[in-house]
Chain A
């Protein structure tokens, strides 16, 4: 199993550009998440989804959008990129079994720089 796969691994954007970070998982997990990690800091939740067609905001959703059309895919869209969005973005998934909710499987990350 590939687990959680993120693309691209690296990207440089100019201020005002838009892009989509792709995330796919092959574990048939209902729950998926997007986190961001700024240098030297812990991860912060951007958006999450508990199933296809259902998404909700996390702690830092401003400047981002998500969609969940399939169980496998959970893309993160950055509109009008700003330098404050320079960060490492992690996608994760977890099982709907309640005692495993907090057992997240993370991707390798997408490193985004906005100049």
Chain B
């Protein structure tokens, strides 16, 4: 899996959009971008994933640059419950199954 670079920590005001960046300059063409979050030592929670196109679901939006060297996870209206560690992961699928490589992630703190 490709190595990702994320900021160690970020702050966001409640009700505002949280934009979490991730750099992945060595990503391969067949590797998906996955985002997970982990709230206070609970089990990680899947958020969203994408390959080339931008993606949106009920939790977040994922913006992937055209050259695929970076991406941004957007939480459109952050709440206090979104305070968590957010992991950006690259994964090829296929015979890689669900063997994910977790880095240090970004600690997002949402404040009132």
Chain A: residues with CB nearer than 8 A to chain B? Answer: 4, 31, 33, 35, 41-45, 48, 50, 58, 88, 90, 92, 94, 98-99, 101-109
Q: Is the CB of A48 within 8 A of B41?
A: no
Interfacial chain B residues near A48, Cβ < 8 Å: 97-99
Complex partner residue of B98 from A4, A33, A107, CB under 8 angstroms: A33
In the complex, are the beta carbons of B44 and A101 less than 8 A apart? no
Residue on A nearest B94 in the bound complex, by CB: A98
Restricting to B76-112, which residues have a CB under 8 Å from any CB of A?
Answer: 87, 89, 91, 93-94, 96-105
What total count of A-B pairs have CB within 8 Å?
Answer: 67
Q: Are A43 and B99 in contact (CB under 8 A)?
A: no
Given A43-B44, A98-B93, A98-B94: A103 in contact with B49 (beta carbons within 8 A): yes
A-side contacts of B94, CB under 8 Å: 98, 101
> Residues of B contacting A98 with CB < 8 Å?
93-94
Most buried by A among B96, B102, B104: B102
Contact count band on B: 20 to 34
**A99: B residues at CB distance < 8 A:** 93
CB neighbours of B102 from chain A (8 A): 35, 42-44
The residues of A that contact B29 with a CB separation of less than 8 Å are: none
